[in-house]
């Protein structure tokens, strides 16, 4: 199994910056792609950024130019640098990891998605 723990959320004024971290443990060798999702009250969870094991990235249109996703595979940690925060960025941000490696020890539970418990980002105007 894989455990994910987010950190770095908090209360920030509009225009400010935050860096979120996601620390992975357990069967980290089985992780392929990782990503960040967010969910605001009354809204569906949305994917805001993703990154493959090779470093290819994806960003939602709403965050392009302001968010930067990265990962340090040696430290089993993924980051989300958030700049020029807007009130509409207020949400719980969740870390996601895909069990996509096909080596023998990862075949069991192949394809499973793992989730952290989330970290709250609140942006005041």
pLDDT attached to residue 89: 97
**What is the DSSP-derived secondary structure letter of residue 15?**
T
Integer Rg of the chain from CA: 14
Residue position matching structure tokens 């960025």: 89
Angle at 84 between CA 36 and CA 11, to 5 degrees: 70
Say what the alpha-carbon torsion angle 21, 24, 30, 35 is, to the nearest 10 degrees. -30
Q: What is the pLDDT of residues 46-93, one digit of tens each?
A: 999 999 999 999 999 999 999 999 999 999 999 999 999 999 999 999
Report pLDDT for 5: 98
């Amino acid at each position: 199994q894989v455990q994910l723990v987010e950190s770095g959320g908090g209360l920030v004024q509009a225009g400010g910056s935050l860096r979120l971290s996601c620390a992975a443990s357990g069967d980290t060798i089985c992780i392929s792609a990782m990503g960040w999702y967010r969910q605001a009250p009354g809204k569906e969870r949305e994917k805001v950024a993703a990154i493959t094991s090779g470093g290819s990235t994806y960003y939602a249109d709403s965050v392009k130019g302001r968010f930067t996703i990265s990962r340090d595979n040696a430290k089993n940690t993924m980051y989300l640098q958030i700049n020029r925060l807007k009130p509409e960025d207020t949400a719980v941000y969740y870390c996601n990891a895909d069990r996509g490696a096909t080596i023998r020890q990862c075949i069991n539970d192949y394809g499973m998605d793992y989730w952290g418990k989330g970290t709250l980002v609140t942006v005041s105007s």
